[in-house]
Amino acid sequence: MRAKDQGSIGSMIAPLVGLSVGLLVLGGSIEIARMAEQLGPKVGDQVAFGLDARSQIASQETLAVTRADGSPCRLDIAMMQKSGGSLIVEERGPGPQRMYRIHWSGRNTAADDGNCGASVDLRLNDGQIATLAEAAGGYGLVRRRLVLSTPWATAGASVP
């Protein structure tokens, strides 16, 4: 009788192991989906053109975009690189086909009547923001001033 009991316990182990592995895979899949939703630019991220021409990648691409009011305009990346300006993420939409409200501040975005303006809110998608960030050399600003690194500077004291 003892051999029969051991056989029934052995036949229960395989389904329990399978169930455990299945639960781990399901949990991992849910976590990966949650992490993927958080990818992409966040509110406050910035793309700056013209600060450091060495870090910019030359681009002749022009993006057809939409202003926040729904009217179309164009972003001529070469012109933006030459004249300077910045984009700041002001709003991040939900879902996988996420749209962003971006504020452009700078000079003209195109040479003709497709110009978006010197200061305008735009609606862009992930791909358009990635193209602009790549052309600018990445996200963020390049510091163009000397920063003192002293113990009292980090403590909030003023440097004479």
Q: State pLDDT tens for residues 90-135.
A: 999 887 788 999 999 998 899 888 999 999 999 999 889 989 998 8
Contact between 87 and 46 (Cβ < 8 Å): yes
Give the residue, 14 or 51, on which the prediction is more confident: 14
Give the residue, 53 or 65, on which the prediction is more confident: 65
Indicate whether 35 and 61 sit together in one domain.
no
CB count in 10 Å sphere of residue 79: 19
CB count in 10 Å sphere of residue 14: 9
Confirm whether 141 is domain-assigned. Answer: no
Confirm whether 143 is domain-assigned. Answer: no
Contacts of 31 (CB under 8 A, 6+ apart): none
Contact between 157 and 71 (Cβ < 8 Å): no
Determine which helix (DSSP H) or strand (DSSP E) holds 25, and give its type and residue range: helix 2-37
Domain housing 1:
1-39
